[in-house]
Chains A and B, each alone.
Chain A
């Protein structure tokens, strides 16, 4: 079975996020002066072929720990490990 998976990665809360800060700095110039706490992360999507959802989730978690994030500076969340039986993955909305 194939599972579509998504991992979100952010800088740890304590660390300065320069990209978030740059966006936050630009927003007031466009009239949105009421925004704070902007943080920019990464979203990584892919398909995994596995026996079942639990096996897929365990693998995705290991991948996120070992490659997709660096535990020294980042935190991650594994999202949306769901069975995939639709269009070619690249064509998803």
Chain B
């Protein structure tokens, strides 16, 4: 019998989507491993998810305090050894604050919290969530965030685009990019980015809420399948 890839999901105080992430991993055939923010142990995880929510109440800035949680030392060294790490929503914000991903996330341009299913275009195969996809594919995935406007300094933005670090963009159902579908008002409609090495990725949409066809769109399935495939290589 083939070993199930173990995907660690970190619970911070204020995480909301940790259980959904564990459930989604199991739904897709992996083993979800609960990890605790105050521990120094990834419990043999082959991949790590930082889930959505409001860690530490989003005090100071989103993700600013979670970045200093004890487990983040382990996540950082895991990432430096090439381990696949995916940050979803608040997890994306934490990875940006930790400097593991470029840019930052600020209040949505509309000033409104957005909670709905959006179309997201895959921009690269070189990330732990998109290894099984090709650029240009459009997925339906929900978003639910108040602070998802991706920003970076002009120089960083040029580098992010030039080096292909954009992993996802908000788009129309045909894949077209326009301001109407840019739900957060992100720079260049960016919904997710990856790091230079291609083993760390963050995105605002929630793939873990989009795996079960009984509950709506299933755009999260190929993303989690890609993560499991990547984790399996390490298992």
Contact = CB atoms under 8 A, between A and B. Distances in A.
B109 interface: yes
B106 A73 contact: yes
B148 to A, nearest CB: 12
Given A67-B60, A72-B151, A73-B151, A18 B109 contact: yes
Instruction: Give the bracket for the number of chain B residues in contact with chain A.
Output: 10 to 19
Kindly state the interface size class of chain A when it binds its partner: 10 to 19
Given A68-B60, A72-B152, A22 B111 contact: yes
B103 A72 contact: yes
B104 interface: yes
B111 A70 contact: no
Interface string B146-158: 0000011110100
B64 A67 contact: yes
A15 B111 contact: no
A48 interface: no
B200 to A, nearest CB: 16
B208 interface: no
B111 A18 contact: yes
Which of A11, A19, A21, A67 has the largest count of B CB atoms less than 10 A from its CB?
A67
Interface string B88-117: 000000001100000110111101000000
A29 interface: no
Given A67-B64, A72-B152, A73-B151, A16 B109 contact: yes
A39 B129 CA distance: 38
Nearest to A42: B60
B1 to A, nearest CB: 46
Contacts of B103: 72
Interface in B142-187: 151-154, 156, 185
20 contacts: A15-B106, A16-B109, A16-B185, A18-B107, A18-B108, A18-B109, A19-B107, A22-B111, A67-B60, A67-B64, A70-B64, A70-B104, A72-B96, A72-B104, A72-B151, A72-B152, A72-B156, A73-B104, A73-B106, A73-B151
Given A70-B64, A72-B153, 16 more contacts: A11-B106, A16-B109, A18-B106, A18-B107, A18-B108, A18-B109, A18-B111, A19-B107, A21-B111, A22-B111, A67-B68, A70-B61, A72-B103, A72-B156, A73-B104, A73-B106
Interface of A: 11, 14-16, 18-19, 21-22, 67-68, 70, 72-73
Instruction: In the A-B complex, list the 9 residue pairs whose CB atoms are closest, starting with the nearest.
Output: A72-B104, A18-B107, A73-B104, A18-B111, A70-B104, A70-B61, A73-B106, A22-B111, A73-B151
Interface of B: 60-61, 64, 68, 96-97, 103-104, 106-109, 111, 151-154, 156, 185
